[in-house]
Structure 1
Amino acid sequence: MRYLCHVLSILILSSIPALLFGQIITWKEIHPGIWKGTAGKPDAYDLLKAAEATASPALARLPKQDFPLDQTAITCQLNNGKSYVRLPLQRDEQLYGFGLNFQTIHQRGRIMQLHADHYGKSDNGRTHAPVPFYVSSLGYGVFVNSAKYIDVYAGSGVRKDAKNPPKVMDRNTDKNWEAHPYSDAVEMLIPAEGIEIYVFAGPKPVNAIERFNLMSGGGCLPPRWGLGFTQRVHRLYTDEQVKQEAKAFEEKGYPLDFIGLEPGWQSKSYPCTFEWDRTRFPDPARFVKEMDQMGVKINLWTNPYVSPDAAIYKNIAPYTGTHTVWNGIVPDLSMPQARKILFDQFEKEHVRIGVSGYKIDEVDGFDSYLWPDVATFPSGHSSEQIRQTYGLLVQKHSFDMFRRNNMRTYGLVRASNAGGAPFPYVIYNDNYSHEDFITALINSGYTGVLWTPEVRASKTAEEWLRRFQTVCFSPMAMINAWSSSMQPWTFPEVAPQIKALAELRMQMMPYWYTEFAKYHYNGTPPFRGMSLEEGFGMNVRKEKTPTNLQDNPYEEAVTREVKDQYMAGEYLLVAPLFTGQTTRKVILPKGKWYDFYTGKLAGDGEVITITPGMDRIPVFVKDGGIIPMMPASLHAPRAGQKTDIEIRHYGQKNGSYRLYDDDGETFAYEKGAFAWRTIHVERAGGRLKGSISAPENGKPNSVGNVTWRFMTE
């Protein structure tokens, strides 16, 4: 009888396929304020392995922090080969991140599947950078290190055994009944038999993001010329047409640091040969050299799908997937053999003749042209894993190629993921909503990637100017004229304003370059959302938190979603206007803020209404802010070139700033060839006075004469 009962119990258990098996999460502090948790059997191939992420030495210098969550409230269960992880949420916290979103900043209450893809005008998780990292308004971050499609329920589901269940309401009688009840957890489903999860302490949200970026090596440090101005020319331009375009910039006095060539530079594209079209570019090496002598570098468009007519086709074919993209074979770049063949070709044909970088297109998705999930790859990694990491792979190994040649690069890419912060690439796409572009710029700071609100075509001079204003306050100041052939002076009625903006971009290069150095060494995003700014949403006058549940389904979200203003570096608040707008509101964080252009007081921790006119993008500087500027120039300073500096101070408070310097072109900074110079502004005898520390012996020093401008006095 006992034997029969035992057999029956086995049969009953084996007939229940959906049994949940709890997994113990083992936690280990791997860096100060960063804990790694593992449960079950995580996949061997993941995002950090694809990026070959190496932690920044800066992590070791960070202060110790306590684990920011209740460890016992973080649970993992295995269900039919998938891992289910649950993390606690408090009533008063908001969530940010979960990839490069274009329409939403607040992510609490949302459901998405993190899936590498083009942006399809819906924040459903399908995006160019589906980074499985989120940061809480309470000052911690969470990252799930998986190269699989991850289902996310960001505080949307309610378990029947929830410790903090929502109040049960009767819709018939309670006017406060809500279709989306309060949820006390973030839940994620990962199609793997285990998880690798990281928790980042703050104490502030920006500190958690900094730790996340530093765990991958810190943010990228572009060359100085990368932060200048770039024009992408028509896709079928010849070498002579490119030269004439560059000459027109110089003759008209518009800054230009690099030009992007679109598909026509290749002998064949879609799929690609990666070889020069000798009818349009008969002598590529001479062309690139002549352009460099003009002060203009060359960037090449490509995608990685290999044409049957490419010289490398036969050699790389064994290391490609089963399916093609536009009839081109897909290199399995997770394999060293495929990487070597492809990037050796790039190095020989492009980099060694002076090509400065790439625009790597169509590595993001769009199911109708990318390889399907039924594809297989010779590495044995699933098509899903290759899709989630392909943007990382092209960035990592092209970047390594430039490092071997001791040339810094700065380019464009259509996809990235966690671990990609150190790679000098800016994401772009074919969507053209200006408003969405700014929301994406804000979200990039929560996600460890860079994004540009590029300018393409415009129907009116007003639209052209408004779009141009925002690219000049973004990671890459770019016109992409691959189809339109438009130029900065296309609309004569706003050409003077466009030139002034381009010159301002160049004048601000010492500030931009220093802010990117902070990204590299400290992990601080150079462009970021207002929720990361100290004092935002705290006792801001004339501002009320929405109570309409249609606008904000969670009363615990303590600040409203702000999608149209952002921080640019340490001191600047940027509040762009869009086509048709003549006035707008700006939420100023706690403290006094000053007009960037005039130095006049703009407001003190309040909501202001501004009518700035067409000529200027509204920019505000916090009290005590210091902005180092240089004279306007047509090209970024080259290695060894000294540049005069004007140091601007705003407001009444004392101020300080650390100005970064290196050669701006090579990787010598990785061997210690860099310098920080401390700027102080202090009040003495009723007046402000400035000082800058002396240059260090044996360290780079590109600073010429220093002048001071106290904007508010």
Structure 2
Amino acid sequence: MENMKKKMILGALAILMLLPVHAQIAWKQVEPGVWKGVVGTPEDYSLLDVAAVTPLKESFARLPEVALPALANEIVGSIQDGKTSLRIPLQKKEQLYGFGLNFQTVHQRGKILNLHVDHYGGKDNGRTHAPVPFYISSLGYGVFINSARYLTVYAGSGARKDSPNAPVVKDRNTDKTWTASPYSDAVSILVPAPGAEIYIFAGPTPMDVIRRYNLFCGGGTLPPRWGLGFTQRTQKLYTAEDVEKEADEFERQGYPLDFIGLEPGWQSKAYPCTLEWDEKRYTDPAGFVKTMLDKGIRINLWTNPYISPESEAYKEMYPVSGSHTVWCGIVPDLAGEKGRQLWKDKLEKEHINIGVSGYKIDEVDGYDRYVWPDVATFPSGISAEQMRQTYGLWVQRTTADLYKKRNQRTFGLVRASNGGSSSFPYVIYNDYYSHQDFITALINSGFSGVLWTPEVRGSKSAEEWLRRFQSVVFSPMAMINAWASGTKPWSFPEVAKQVKEYALLRMQMMPYWYTEFARYHFDGIPPFRAINLEPGFNPEQIITSELKTSNLEDNPYLEAIAKEIKDQYMAGEYLLVAPMFAGQTKRTVMLPKGNWYDFYTGKYVGNGERITVSPGLDRIPVFVKDGAIIPFMEATLHAPKAGQKINLEIRHYGKADGAYRLYDDDGETFDYEKGVYSWRNIKVTRDKKGRLHGTISKAEKGKPNSIATVTWKFMTQE
């Protein structure tokens, strides 16, 4: 009898252990407008720790004061079966953005996502290059989950039976409004760990939320000026002579070029990699790099981190690598200090010490069929899953540290990233090649603290070539990737003139691009971002036949995908870019509220309305806000060097007065972190006779001053 009682008690305890344990979340303010909550016992290894996040504290003072959002007290956390679930409430008219680098959708409400670092496979299902567990609400708050696990997100999907906002029951047999995706009033997130850290970022606007997130992660990256110039990636088996010849051809034909990317053939072995120069193709690597630097062109090296048995580093790296190989190469355990140091030592010895300016770090994302499996083990004790989620962060952090140590800025490419990476000097890319989806990814990058390039590779026609090239000019990295095709900017002679015009336009706009990246760093404002974040944007302008009688309660997923703008975006403070795609002769553009003007002519185009434009093949549609000030410089073939003076042409658009703060520093070092930078105030006002006049503040003594002369161009004629 006594044994039976004990068994009954033990059975009851076992059942209780299987039931969810609800946890009260206590919120602690960690920065102005940022609060941290803890559920259960979070794991020590996290995204923010790997990214080594250091908030840019002084910049928070420029954001509005805010209180903890009321919904914080409604967030429910519970632990069951060693896993943590979080439930964050939603309102009926609320839309969601973010959840990482999505390629096909901007609105995320109604989606089910498995946030998992992977090569993008053509579906927005959460498996992507940067599955950042951060989302922004249209109501002006954001949520970040600081976990290095594969997270499952129900972004307004799934309805609890006890919900106060439960969906209305409908009869499918007789009610045409029945839907298979009924209304859900919460975001539910499953974290496969016995605890989780959750951060709330307050607004009051969605843009303020994003700014706080970027500043919390150290501020956005500030690339060197040369990183914002033009780059060409050469074919994989080019020799030093081939590269020099191609650089000379750019110069001869008058196309700008700031850095060249060498693809796999620069290494003695690749897939896996030796990280060592091929002695036949590059007989004198140091001499080659110096020759290119003397031409004003920097060298960027492609690699993946998987070490070949033929590498001199293999033997020493072997004990501090993972249990499984990738393409028969060992995987350095970058979460362990020794493995990380050995990898850094190899890069420094072979490349950085001879003047290599940066990296393209490939294949740190997936696919599952070639990257290490989730059963792999690593000497550091970090699980294969956590390593998969953070390996892109590790390669960025370790290489960025090498250049930071030398007080030398870099700008490169990477195939995987995650939360906390805003300050890393890397742009994400992949092997996917949809022009339309590339633009959607560029839009979504601004929600997640990452950068994305809609790079140009091969094209089927001159039209496609030019359309793609026009897009990259208005993106974080103006790049042609010719590793397979060998294509050049002039490969399609019928549009070579237009391609050169846009390449030179990229250089002319260098003062604007550089200032906008400075704002990304100091103020957290993404340089390329969704139109949804523009104050004058009204989502109710977007009406489709499916949505004339629809709302989030009727069908949240239909609403999400049909009322989004995913083919136009803001570039910096003043420009609205609306790319054209091959086969298009016209397109519609949604203008936010306020007067807008044509970028090329200065003519008025509209105010808060839908317009149709037919720009012709020569133009990518770009529109400018009323009162906008865009600083230009002369069209040079290389970005200005430290201390080099430029002639500034300041363009003003529209009829309103204008103001702009122009940023300046040496363009190459981290001295700006010590205060060695300047902001010049530019103003355009009208005199008593209504004539426009421009002024620029004087350079401060002892501060950087790259301006030689200033001229003014008032683009909008009365």
Answer whether TM exceeds 0.5 for this pair.
Answer: yes
Counterparts of 2:131 and 2:643, CA distance in 1? 40
Paired residues of 2:108 and 2:560 also in contact (CA < 8 A): no
Deviation at 1:13, TM superposition (A): 3.7
SS at match of 1:697: coil
Correspondence 1:701 to 2:705: yes
Task: Tell me the alpha carbon deviations over residues 192-228 of structure 1, each in whole angstroms, 9 at most, x when there is no partner.
Answer: 1011000000011011011111111011000000000
* 1:75-90 equivalences in 2 (<5 Å): 75-90=76-91
- Which amino acid is 2:625 matched to? K
Matched with 2:317 is 316
Match of 1:553 in 2: 555
Asked if 1:677 is matched to 2:680, the reply is yes
CA contact (8 A) 1:92 1:556 kept: no
1:112-143 per-residue CA deviation (whole Å, 9 max, x = no partner) reads 10000000001110000010000001111000
2:70 equivalent in structure 1: 69
Distance 2:548 2:6 in 1: 58
* Corresponding position of 1:515: 516
Q: CA contact under 8 A between 2:629 and 2:651: conserved in structure 1?
A: yes
State the one-letter code of the partner of 2:580. Answer: L
Write the mapping of 1:97-246 to structure 2, written as runs, cut at 5 A: 97-246=98-247
Deviation at 1:501? 0.3
Q: Aligned residue for 1:532?
A: 533
Provide Cα deviations, 1:598-621, integer angstroms capped at 9, x if missing partner.
Answer: 000011110000000000100000
After TM superposition, the structure 1 = structure 2 runs for residues 449-488 of structure 1, keeping only pairs within 5 Å, are 449-488=450-489
Q: Which residue of 1 aligns with 2:574?
A: 571
3-state DSSP of counterpart to 2:324: strand
**AA matched with 1:526:** P
Q: Give the structure 2 partner of residue 46 of structure 1.
A: 46
Q: Is the CA contact 1:374–1:383 (under 8 Å) kept in the aligned structure 2?
A: yes
Q: Deviations over 1:365-396 (max 9, x none)?
A: 10000000000001101000000000000001
Q: Which moved more, 1:435-444 or 1:335-344?
A: 335-344
One-letter amino acid of the structure 2 residue matched with residue 34 of structure 1: V
Distance between the aligned counterparts of 2:581 and 2:460, measured in 1? 13
2-structure distance, mates of 1:120, 1:558: 19
Other structure's SS at 1:446 match = coil
Aligned to 2:650: 647
Structure 1 position 167, deviation (Å): 1.4
Cα deviation, residue 177, structure 1: 1.4
Aligned to 1:107, the other structure's residue is in SS state: coil
1:93, 1:556 within 8 Å by CA — same for their partners in 2?
no
1:157 aligned counterpart, secondary structure: coil
Once the two structures are superposed, what CA deviation does each residue of 1:16-43 show, in whole Å capped at 9, x if it has no partner? 6631111121210111100000111001
Specify every segment of 5 or more residues in structure 1 that has no aligned partner in the other structure, as ranges: none
Pair 1:584-2:587 in alignment: yes
Identify if the C-alpha distance between structure 1 residues 126 and 438 changes in structure 2 by more than 3 Å, giving closer, same or farther: same
Distance 1:458 1:184 in 2: 45
- Asked if residue 11 in structure 1 is aligned to residue 14 in structure 2, the reply is no
CA distance change for structure 1 residues 450 and 239 in 2, over 3 Å: closer, same or farther? same
2:625 corresponding residue in structure 1: 622
Matched to 1:26, the amino acid is: A
Superposed, 1:267-666 pairs within 5 Å as 267-537=268-538, 540=541, 546-547=547-548, 553-554=555-556, 560-666=563-669
**CA distance in structure 2 between the partners assigned to 1:679 and 1:6 by the alignment:** 81
Residue 59 of structure 2 contacts residue 522 of structure 2 at CA under 8 Å; is this kept in 1? no
Q: Deviations over 1:331-357 (max 9, x none)?
A: 010111111111111111111111110
Q: Work out whether residues 324 and 372 of structure 2, in 8 Å CA contact, stay in contact via their aligned partners in 1.
A: yes
- In structure 2, do the counterparts of structure 1 residues 541 and 28 end up closer, same or farther at CA, with 3 Å as the change threshold? closer
CA distance in 1, matches of 2:95, 2:103: 18
* Whole-angstrom distance in 1 between the partners of 2:669 and 2:524: 20
Residue range with higher mean Cα deviation, 610-619 or 163-172: 163-172
Deviations, residues 655-675 of structure 1 (Å, cap 9, x unaligned): 111100000011111111111
Cα distance, 1:326 vs structure 2: 0.4
SS at 2:77 equivalent? strand
Report deviation, 1:59. 4.5
> Contact 1:538–1:589 at 8 Å: present in 2 too?
no
Cα distance in 2 for partners of 1:550, 1:310 equals 60
Structure 2 contact 574–625 (Cα < 8 Å) conserved: yes
Partner of 2:693: 689
Question: How far, CA to CA, are the matches of 1:168 and 1:18 in structure 2?
Answer: 31
Q: Deviations over 1:464-514 (max 9, x none)?
A: 000000000000000000010000000000000000000000000000000
Are the aligned partners of 2:550 and 2:559 in contact in 1 as well (CA < 8 Å)?
no
Shift of 1:69: 3.4
Supply the RMSD in Å over aligned alpha carbons: 1.8
Q: How many residues align?
A: 713
Measure, in 2, the Cα distance between the counterparts of 1:69 and 1:369.
Answer: 46
Q: Shift of the alpha carbon at 1:684?
A: 1.5
Please tell me the residue identity of whatever aligns with 1:170: D
Go from structure 1 to structure 2 and tell me whether the alpha carbon gap of 1:69 and 1:364 turns closer, same or farther (over 3 Å shift). Answer: farther
1:172 positional shift: 2.1
In 2, Cα distance between the equivalents of 1:236 and 1:547?
56
Instruction: Return the alpha-carbon distance in structure 2 between the equivalents of residues 629 and 621 of structure 1.
Output: 14
2:510–2:632 Cα contact (<8 Å) kept: yes
Instruction: Mark the CA change 1:123 to 1:559 in structure 2 (over 3 Å): closer, same or farther.
Output: closer
Deviations, residues 34-89 of structure 1 (Å, cap 9, x unaligned): 00001110010000011111111234414421112322310100010000000010
Tell me how far apart the structure 2 counterparts of residues 330 and 553 of structure 1 sit (CA, whole Å): 46
**Do the aligned residues in 1 keep the contact of 2:625 with 2:653 (CA within 8 Å)?**
yes
